[in-house]
Amino acid sequence: MTAVYPQAPGLAVHLDGGVLHVTISNPDQRNALNDESVATFVDAVQLAQTDEQVRALLISGAGEHFCSGFDIVGRNTAGGDRPRVGAIQRRLPAQAHRLVPLLGELQVPVVAGVRGYAVGIGMQLLLASDFVVASSTATLWEPFSQRGMTPDGGASWLLPRVVGPLRARQLLMLGKRLTGVEAAEWGIVHECVPDDEVTATATELATRLADGPTVALGLIKWLINSGSEQPLKDHLSNEAFAMELSSRSPDFREGLSAFVQKREPRFTGR
């Protein structure tokens, strides 16, 4: 049975082959996310985790920008009474603080294609992705301190692990902005390309990953993400577990046959 993915104003989700496309589509606000679009994003990723047809996830933004962050102004200027004190700490665990870990837990590769602004939660989506293809003119920015706020979405956890604590301080405390070129030099971006090549390059990469040995790639992702938090002995046990599972997959047998027959493997994701 084909899964039916949720849609929301400002977020489009569709499956094309083995690639699940999640497109942030709120161009009038530079693709800012809101409560509804984040909730729908969470639902889509949760469904993808159990959908056997999904073999890669591609996140992109419609128009000129990737994501300019969360629409805080819209929430605080909307009609009706303002939320009572404590609304943020009640809401975040089910929204941004649920979405970012889900992307890391998803057992298929996640690719992000970035043009224009990737700000706040938009930047956290990049940090949680496995591969990022960015325009050389893209702008990556954590504006929290300039707004008198502390970061969310895992920024203060993800950034030190990706770029180190010194550079994390530049981004989070000084509000340093990075171009796509600088983000590639800092190790945030996998590949930096001209603006008009982002969509094609990111789609090609997601398709390549979707054509790969899905079980093995998911286990490799799990090993990489969990390894930094474990002693070597425990990690080696996980490697043995992952090897046991992957070696029982049809794709392992196909990879072995392709090696013996000196041809390219034809993986099915099984």
Nearest-angstrom CA–CA distance, 139 and 64: 11
Across the chain, which has 270 residues, the per-10-residue mean pLDDT values are: 88 95 94 93 95 97 94 58 55 71 95 97 96 97 90 92 96 96 96 96 97 96 90 93 93 93 93
Instruction: Provide the pLDDT for residue 36.
Output: 92
How far is residue 232 from each of residues 43, 238, 241, measured CA to CA in Å?
Answer: 35, 10, 14
- How deeply is 1 buried, as exposed, middle or buried, from its count of CB atoms within 10 A (0-12, 13-18, 19+)? exposed
Residue 113's closest CA among 38, 24, 27? 24
Residue 176 structure tokens: 């340093």
Q: CA-to-CA distance for 66 and 26, rounded, in angstroms?
A: 10
Q: Assign domain 11-210 one CATH number from 3.30.70.890, 3.40.50.300, 3.40.350.10, 3.90.226.10.
A: 3.90.226.10
> Which pLDDT score is estimated for 86?
46
Amino acid 32: pLDDT? 93
Residue the block writes with tokens 């599972």: 245
pLDDT of residue 12: 96
Instruction: Using CA atoms of 195, 199, 200, 202 in order, give the dihedral in degrees to the nearest 10.
Output: 110
Q: Where are the domains of the chain?
A: 11-210, 214-261
At 38 the pLDDT is: 93
The structure's pTM equals 0.90
* pLDDT in the model for residue 81: 61
Residues 86 and 93: their CA atoms lie apart, in Å, by 12
Q: Measured between alpha carbons, how far apart are the two ends of the chain, in Å? A: 17
